[in-house]
Amino acid sequence: MAELIISVSGVRGIIGDSLTGQVAYDFGRSLATHLACKAAKPNIVLGRDSRRSGPIIAQALAAGAMEAGASITDLGIVTTPTVGLMTRFVHAAAGVVITASHNPAPYNGIKFLGPDGIALPAADIEQLKAIYLARHWTPGDIDTIGTYATDSRGHAHHVQCVLQFFDTRKIIQNRFRVVLDSINGAGAIPSPMLLGKLGVELVHINGQADGQFAHTPEPVRENLQQLCDAVAKHRAVVGFAQDPDADRLVIVDENGNFIGEEYTLALCVMNRLMKKKGPVVCNLSTSRMIDDLAARFDVPLIRTPVGEANVAARMIKENAIIGGEGNGGVIDLRVGPIRDSLLGMASILELLAATGKTVSQLVAEVPAYAVIKNKMNITRADADLLARKIAARFADRNPDTQDGVRIDFGDSWLQFRPSNTEPIARLIAEAPTSAAAHALIAQIGELAQN
């Protein structure tokens, strides 16, 4: 049996194996019990991506939460950022997203959001996990069970929240042709709404929110050839790719070239800083391109551990004007404290309209680095041991141990980070050349064998 992963990122497992309707039901009871300590009859906003297993997990969780006294507002198939926005909009006690993000179709998961729309803090997740493991649930009876309601306003509210902060008139004047790959995920519903209001001539591929993923969900180069070909065929100005819950965005340039997920945040930061200067926040795994842009506009850059909750919390503390993660996740607090692919699309189109330049021309203005991202199959215990070895090996480089271990070498850096959702560790190296980045990765391989 596969392991059910319970971490700061929520719950994730394989349907019918580690993640079942019973597990979801129990987590629904656990969440309601946890929330009851803070509010009587708490309301939970519930949404899911388009995975075929979504109704099983969503309905089971809703049943468990209602039995333990919480009420459910069900949004249906929506994006993760939509759940975050609607949680705040209806003043709910919490939000829940049934999604496994970029994992393949056999997976699903449960992501918990606080009343501010941000992923629950680690301390709350630990309390929730303790309740789940101990089975100490609030007892339910006919007088205390919660109510169930649906709310269809999510998509429209999300689109409105994004559009108000961009120069829609200027974007509309350009009549951009765009190819969008929604991988038949949740983004297939609101994205055409957004792009239609921006006057875009849309070529939508994999645009049915039916969960029949047309390719491996991770929005990386090897999975997006169809998008690249479509951009070239239709002579579009840009290609956009979403992941199943649409919190991440990846870009293909006007020539059909995959430019890398790191450029999403870089171009959005460029667009924001062109209009207003202010602090920028990103995680420790994000490209040095953000450092270069922050230096160009003379604004501070603050780095945090990986995880949008960490980035969003620091953005709020620093009053940052933009932030995010190098995996294609963009956060603008004016819209919401959560990664949002719709926000990313509007920002990129505004940048194209404001500059009159192509995506490839804008990319050429950002100093380029070679990034190598590898995965290592390893238990968490062994990963933590290897992290300590790496920190000791490069002790003279002042290792940053906020999240795994990161070593900086001036114009290059290396990070080893155990995953919170899988029994793997991620190795990331960035340097001016591919050879230099591979050399940094090789040093970790040598330490792992010794």
Same domain as 278, residue 210 = yes
Tell me whether strands 280-283 and 238-242 are parallel, antiparallel or unpaired. Answer: unpaired
Give the per-residue pLDDT at 318. 97
Same domain as 344, residue 233 = yes
Same domain as 79, residue 16 = yes
Q: How far apart are CA 432 and CA 450, in angstroms?
A: 28
Same domain as 245, residue 148 = no
Give the per-residue pLDDT at 306. 86
Same domain as 346, residue 267 = yes
Beta strands in 257-369 (DSSP E): 280-283, 301-304, 322-325, 329-331
**Domain endpoint, select from 130, 152, 174:** 152
Give the per-residue pLDDT at 449. 83
Same domain as 392, residue 280 = no
Same domain as 121, residue 231 = no
What domain range includes position 418? 370-449
Same domain as 341, residue 207 = yes
**Domain endpoint, select from 131, 152, 173:** 152
How many domains does the chain divide into?
Answer: 3
Residue 388 phi, psi (nearest 5): -65, -35
The CATH number linked to 202 is 3.40.120.10
Q: Is 284 exposed, middle or buried (0-12, 13-18, 19+ CB in 10 A)?
A: buried
Bridge partners, residue 94, by sequence: 44
101 is catalytic: yes
Q: Tell me which residue has tokens 């959702």.
A: 421
The series of mean pLDDT values per 10 residues for the chain, 450 residues long, is 85 96 97 88 96 98 96 98 98 97 94 95 92 88 91 98 98 98 98 98 98 93 96 98 97 96 96 98 94 97 91 96 96 97 98 98 94 89 91 93 91 88 86 94 85
Secondary structure class of 123 (helix, strand, coil): helix
Same domain as 236, residue 91 = no
pTM as predicted: 0.93
Same domain as 301, residue 225 = yes
Find the catalytic residue in 30, 101, 341, 412.
101
**Domain endpoint, select from 364, 383, 418:** 364
Same domain as 383, residue 312 = no
Q: Is 433 exposed, middle or buried (0-12, 13-18, 19+ CB in 10 A)?
A: exposed
Same domain as 430, residue 389 = yes
